[in-house]
Amino acid sequence: MTFNEILDMMYGIFLTTGIAALSWKHVLMWGIGLVFIYLAIKKDFEPLLLLPIGFGIFVVNFPFVPLMGFSQGHPELIRVFYHYGLEWEVVPCLIFLGLGAMTDFGPLIANPKTLLVGAGAQLGVFITFTGTVLAGFTLKEAASVGIIGGADGPTTIYLTQALAPHLLGANALAAYSYMAMVPLIQPPIMRMLTTPEERRIRMRQLRPVSKLEKIFYPIICTIVIALLVPSVIPLMGMFMFGNLMKESGVVGRLTETAQNALMNIVTILLGISVGATMEAERFLSWKPLLIFGLGLLDFFVCTMGGIVTVKIMNRFVKEKMNPLIGSAGVSAVPMSARVSQRIGQEYDRKNHLLMHAMGPNLAGVIGTAAAAGMFIAMFR
Amino acid sequence: MGEAMKKILTITALIWMLGTPAAGAADFLGAPVMSGGRTISQSERELKTGYGLPAARVADYYHQVFGDAGSSLKIRERGGQVWIEDFEARPWHKIVIESSPAGEAVVTITRDSWTWILTMLVFRFLGVFVVLLVLYLALSIFTAILYRSSRRPAGSEGK
C-alpha cells in the first residue's frame, strides 16, 4: 500500500466525520442552544423546558447526526418523538392533562368576573396577527405567531402544528423564552399603565369554594368550550379531565401519575423535539428572527390588554379590582400571577394579590385556547 | 340521428370543458374563471358570472383546478353554497359557487381586502369575550343554584 493510498483512506475516514461538513451556521446554532442551557441552569428560567430545548438545538446542529431525518426510510430517534408527539398533537394535550391535574380553579370560581380579564389579555394575539400579515406572513402563519402572546406553550405548539408546522421551533421557542422572561417584560408595562393609588387597591379576601363547585367547574367549562369552540376541545377537554380527576379525589393514583410521571415524560419529549426542529438551515432565516420580534410585541400588548380590561371593568363594578392582576391575564401560570403579587407588594407590603391574580391567570389559559380555537376553526 | 349527434357533441364539449379546466381559462385577480359563462356584474372588487350548468358541475371544475393548491385554500359547503377561501397572499379572497332560483350556477369571485381581515379579527376577538362571558354566566348561575339548594329552609333551626 502506497503512502498516497493511506492518505486517501484517511481522507475517506475524515469525510465520514462531521468535521468536514461543519459550517458557521452550525456553530451559531450551538451558541443559541448553549444560551438556552445557560439560562436554564444559571438563571433558572423555565429550566424544565429551556434545558431540553437548548440541548435539542445543540445536538441536532451537527452534520450527519441521525436524529431528525430518515435513514433507509425509517424515522430517526427524535423524528419519532416529533412525529408521534407533536405532529400527531399528542404531547400538548397530555401536558394539558397534567396541568389540569395540578390546577386549583378555586380563585377563578370564587371571582368569576376575572374570566373577562383573560379575554382582554388576548388583545395582543389579534393585533400581532395583523402586524404579522403586514410583515409578509400568510394568514395561517400569522395566527400561529399571534398566539405566542397568550403565553401558553402547549396551545402555541398545538395551533402552530395545526396551521404552520414549519414555524413550530421558532414559535415554541419564542413562547417559552418570553414566558420565562415574564418577570422582566411585564413590570415596566404594569407601572406604565397604573397609578400608585391603583397599585395599592386592596381586594376583598376570596370566598371559600366548595368541593362540589370544584367538581362541577370542569364539567361546565367542557360544555361551554365544546359548544362554542369545539376545535380546541382536544386541549381543553384534557385540561378539564385532569382537573376533574384531581377534584373528584377518587382517582388519586391517576392524578398523581398525570401530575408527575406523565407530565415529566411528555415534557422531556416536548422539549427535545421542539429544540431539534431548529436546524440551522431552517432557523437562520428572516422569518424566525422576525417571530422573536413580533412575539415580544405580542407579550407587551397582551399584558396591556389585561390591565386595561381591569381598568375598564373597575368603572362598572362596585368592588374595585387591582389593575396589577390584569397582567396575569396572559397565561404563564403561575409566574405572571407572582409578578402581580411582587409589584403589588412594592407599594403595599400587606397587599396579597397572588390568589386574586390566579383568577385572570387561569382565565388566560382558557382565553388563549379559545383564541386558538377561533383560528383553527377559520383556517383548518 | 341528429338529436343523438347533438347529445354526443354536447357531452363531448362538457367533458372537454371539465377535463381541461385550466386550459385557456380567463382569470379575475388571478382566480380562474370557468369559460362559457356570462358576466352578470363586474367591478374592481367583485366578478359575478352565471353558467347554464348545475352548481355542482361548476364546483367540480374548481375542485379540479384547486386540487393541488393544498392547505392554502379552504373549501367548504355552507347552506347550499360552496366557498373557496384563500389564506395565502393571493389578490382574491373567496370564490362562492351557488345555485340561482332558476337553477343556474352563479360564481362570485371577491377581491382580498384588509376590511375583511380586520372585521374578521374584531369578531374573533369579541368571540373570545363571548366564550368567557358565557362561561362566567354559566358559572354564576350554577353557583347561585348550588347556594340556594344548600341553604337551610327558614325556621328549620333548632328543630
Q: What is the 3-state secondary structure (H, E, C) of B78-144?
A: ECCEEEEEECCCCCEEEEEEEECCCCCEEEEEEECCHHHHHHHHHHHHHHHHHHHHHHHHHHHHHHH
Calculate the dihedral angle through the C-alpha atoms of B144, B149, B153, B157, rounding to the nearest 10 degrees: -100
Q: Is residue A130 part of a domain?
A: yes
Q: Which residues contact A67 (CB under 8 A, 6 or more apart)?
A: A59, A60, A76, A77, A78, A79, A276
Judged against a pLDDT cut of 80, whether residue B11 lies above it is answered with no
Judged against a pLDDT cut of 90, whether residue B68 lies above it is answered with no
- The chain-wide mean pLDDT, for chain A, equals 93
DSSP one-letter code for A117? H
Mean pLDDT of A364-375: 95
Q: Is residue A39 part of a domain?
A: no
Tell me if chain B has a CB within 8 Å of the CB of A126: yes
What residue ranges do the domains of chain B occupy?
Answer: 2-112, 114-159
pLDDT for residue B159 = 42
Coil, helix or strand at residue A248: helix
Tell me if chain B has a CB within 8 Å of the CB of A130: yes
Nearest-by-CA chain A residue for B136: A112
Which of A112, A119, A375 is opposite residue B129, by nearest beta carbon?
A: A119
Could you tell me if residue B41 is left (phi over 0), alpha (psi between -120 and 50 degrees) or otherwise beta? Answer: beta
Q: What is the CA radius of gyration of chain A?
A: 23
Least confident of A61-65, A89-93, A142-146, B53-57: B53-57
Which residues of B are less than 8 Å from A379 in CB distance? 74, 87
Judged against a pLDDT cut of 70, whether residue A55 lies above it is answered with yes
Amino acid in the structure at residue A49: L
Coil, helix or strand at residue B27: strand
- Look up the CATH number of domain B2-112: 3.30.310
Judged against a pLDDT cut of 80, whether residue A75 lies above it is answered with yes
Which residues of A are less than 8 Å from B69 in CB distance? none
Q: pLDDT digits over A179-201, tens only?
A: 888 999 999 999 999 999 999 99
Judged against a pLDDT cut of 60, whether residue A131 lies above it is answered with yes
Percent of chain A with pLDDT over 70: 100
Coil, helix or strand at residue A370: helix
Q: pLDDT digits over A340-352, tens only?
A: 999 999 999 999 9
Percentages of chain B per state (helix, strand, coil), in multiples of 5: 45, 30, 30
Cα A177 from Cα A290, distance rounded (Å): 15
> Would you place residue B23 in the very low, low, confident or very high pLDDT band (cuts 50, 70, 90)?
very low
Which residues of B are less than 8 Å from A229 in CB distance? 131
Q: Is residue A7 part of a domain?
A: no
pLDDT for residue B8 = 59
pLDDT for residue A123 = 93
pLDDT for residue B24 = 42
Cα A97 from Cα A235, distance rounded (Å): 8
Judged against a pLDDT cut of 50, whether residue A95 lies above it is answered with yes
Judged against a pLDDT cut of 50, whether residue B79 lies above it is answered with yes
Mean pLDDT of A329-345: 92
Percent of chain A with pLDDT over 90: 77
pLDDT for residue A154 = 92
The length of chain B in residues reads: 159
- The chain-wide mean pLDDT, for chain B, equals 80
pLDDT for residue A144 = 95
Q: Is residue A277 part of a domain?
A: yes
Grid cell digits, residue A353: 394579590
User: What's the domain count of chain A?
Assistant: 1
